[in-house]
Chains A and B, each alone.
Chain A
């Protein structure tokens, strides 16, 4: 704490000479390292992926992939004939649902660990465990627990049923994803809570506000930006989660849980239709990007506050 208070003085001591940096001089070079990386490791491969989606790349042309026949939009036309749209629907609905469930859990967890008490460090570490366990372990564990003669059905008694096949498999996927992913929201909310100044709490305490109005009117507004961002990123992560459904249900998966990454993976690495699968992935990327940008505009995450403009 004291360090932060003393920073400005130290600043003055360390940098006595003026360099005359004005506000007009924008250090855009700071964006360069990240930019170069993103271009080399994401943009170039992405371009390659789009190229693959236009050619007939499969087990027969794999070795000489540069010479694979050009198909134009052929793969795209074929991808719409497959279960792709169904898969995108499954992925998106499951992802939104999982996010909707994890947000209250994650925010509640952040709130209960905000104030210090004995053993808080342990509780915070416990909350992190689901996120730290590798997906493949989480999925294997739940798979054994959810099998027809597994422990979940033993506890549920008459309410038990078939969790890994048929319609309920969808809910099994939501359940396991929620279990594994809520600490993400928790961590984001926890970081956001740190930006709430203690004076804010004290002020509302003076007002005599009880905990509920204090929470909803004073504290939660601080969480809005980070949690909205967390929702967005969490949803995208759910949509693109491959390992969890793959280990949980295996391939081929029941139709109720044939999520998009599974379809793409099976098409490319089991049926070896790389061109088709790249086209599928590009189509779903576009379909997902549209609501994504609508959301971005609606929640105004990317818009500067007024004061930031200069």
Chain B
């Protein structure tokens, strides 16, 4: 790597910005870590540095919430959603970018328009639709991971498509054309050329689709049953205090939040090498 030539920022500026941003992120995160080691009374009374240090909450969370089931469910549902929406998004975007046809611009605009639909508006109708699939078609959708997957896939799809549209536009078309003249079919072109070349964008689209499902509570709370609960829903349990009752289990909630964030950060660390690549290697000349 010719670091000196391609470096975007002078070193001092780079260091300052990095440190500032890390501080911005890590201060509240440090608060979460400290709170997870504190007592509930300590957190509720606004302590930053714990009065007492204990790892208790890290052992107790597993009985308070169905956290392990939740994490497994979330990983499965969100993982499949991420892959499916990235693939569907790529193929849709490929058509939308490379071919011109009637209604193309309307589709593109409509996809953005879909993002302006509030989730709170959709909750009840989606539930009615899914439950009538059970009544009229004999398909159990509510309470299964399938139902949740379908909902997330659909909500993630417009976004993934758009990410891929902007990326594919900047992608030179020489390779595809070469393949076309060689007689390759669209599927082959997609699989062998477009997808490998747009991995960074696919990873981004996948990450977003994954996180959309990972963070959703609204739909997951009505579309799941105890055994298909996602981590975000399982976490909700920590936020509750009985009306007029007692302290929410703050320290356990913070511990659980960290534990739920860990698999995503790990997955990201695994996938982030695909974020670099694409054209930087000079694949097209």
Contacts and interface: CB of A to CB of B under 8 A. Distances in A.
The answer to whether A and B interact is yes
Contacts of B272: 121, 124-125
A116 interface: yes
B122 interface: yes
Contact of A52 (B88, B125, B163, B278): B125
B46 A109 contact: no
A7 interface: yes
Nearest to B157: A34
Contact of A225 (B124, B166, B232): B166
Contacts of A301: 108, 166
A48 B207 CA distance: 31
B278 A194 contact: yes
B201 interface: yes
Interface string B1-17: 11101111110001001
A27 B186 contact: yes
A219 B10 CA distance: 15
A308 B98 contact: yes
A31 B92 contact: yes
Contact of B268 (A12, A128, A195, A242): A128
Interface string B203-224: 1100110010011011000000
Interface in B89-132: 89, 91-92, 94-101, 105, 107-109, 112-122, 124-126, 128-129
Contact of B118 (A48, A141, A197, A240): A240
B64 to A, nearest CB: 15
Nearest to A218: B8
Given A21-B180, A247-B239, A260-B118, A30 B100 contact: no
Given A41-B151, A136-B236, A145-B28, A112 B91 contact: no
Interface in B158-208: 158-159, 161-163, 166-167, 169-171, 175, 178-180, 182-186, 188, 190, 192-193, 196-197, 200-201, 203-204, 207-208
A19 interface: yes
Contacts of A243: 215, 217-218
B280 A187 contact: no
A141 B120 contact: no
Contacts of B153: 37, 41
A262 B192 CA distance: 46
A187 B204 contact: yes
Interface size class of A (residues with CB under 8 A): 35 or more
Interface stretch (A69-77, A78-86, A148-156, A162-170): A148-156
B124 A52 contact: yes
Give the one of A5, A7, A28 with max B CB within 10 A: A7
Interface string A124-157: 1111111111111110111011010111001000
Given A134-B260, A190-B275, A305-B169, A129 B29 contact: yes
Contacts of A31: 92, 95-96, 107
A64 interface: no
Contacts, number: 365
B202 to A, nearest CB: 9
Contacts of B250: 140, 144
A159 interface: no
A100 interface: no
A92 to B, nearest CB: 11
B121 A33 contact: no
Contacts of A229: 162-163, 166
B53 interface: no
A26 B161 contact: no
Nearest to B236: A136
A260 to B, nearest CB: 7
Contacts of A247: 239
11 contacts: A19-B184, A27-B95, A46-B121, A133-B261, A195-B167, A196-B280, A198-B2, A211-B9, A304-B100, A305-B169, A308-B100
Interface of A: 1, 3-5, 7-8, 10-12, 14-15, 17-21, 23, 26-28, 30-31, 33-34, 37-38, 40-42, 44-46, 48-49, 52, 105, 108-109, 111-116, 121, 123-138, 140-142, 144-145, 147, 149-151, 154, 179, 184, 187-188, 190-192, 194-199, 201-202, 205, 211, 214-215, 219, 222, 225-226, 229, 232-233, 236-237, 239-240, 242-243, 247, 260-261, 264-265, 268, 274, 277-278, 281-282, 284-285, 288-289, 292-293, 296, 301-305, 308-310
Q: Which 6 A-B pairs have the closest CB atoms?
A: A18-B183, A45-B125, A4-B283, A1-B281, A41-B154, A281-B121
Given A240-B115, A281-B120, 5 more contacts: A133-B257, A144-B46, A187-B207, A191-B201, A289-B116
